[in-house]
Each structure stands twice: as C-alpha cells, then as structure tokens.
Amino acid sequence: MKGELTTIIEPSVDGGFWALCPEIPGANGQGETVAEAKEGLRLAVDLILEDRLDDFLRGLPAEAIREPLVIR
C-alpha cells in the first residue's frame, strides 16, 4: 500500500527524536537520529494498518467485493 501521511518529529528530552503520525492514532517511532525515528514510525504505521485490516476482514462476508482504493 502506498500513501502519504504527516510526520511530526520532535527532539526527545532524553536525547534522540520522537516521530508521530497524527492521522494514525497510536503510531509513533523513536531513534537516536531523525532517520531512525522516521523508520520506527513507518514500521508502526505498517503494523497498525495491517492489524486493523486483518481485524476488519475477519467479519467480512465471502460475497463481499474487495478492491484497492487509490488516493491521489
């Protein structure tokens, strides 16, 4: 899945950085560098969205049509 989300990066009081994504509640990453924090955030977003999709699909009837939605 491809898309574009907002990343907010803040320095941590203990050193390093926090990365947050306001569009995905609970998604955050941290690291010693901005790049590490962003990678941690990307992984968190992937895991959260995958879990939400899996949870939703458990209750989906077999005859439901499933297609990708492209957002531009």
Q: What is the pLDDT of residues 25-68, one digit of tens each?
A: 999 999 999 999 999 999 999 999 999 999 999 989 989 998 98
**Which carries the bigger pLDDT value, residue 1 or residue 12?**
12
Residue type, 43: L
Res. 6: pLDDT tops 60: yes
Residues 6+ away with beta carbon under 8 Å from 23? 5, 6
**Which sign does the torsion angle of CA 47, 49, 54, 56 carry?**
positive
Domain residue spans in the chain? 8-52
- Give strand ranges (E) for 1-72: 8-11, 17-20, 28-31
Res. 9: pLDDT tops 90: yes
Q: What is the pLDDT of residue 2?
A: 63
**Separation in Å, CA 37 to CA 46, 51, 53, 70:** 14, 21, 24, 27
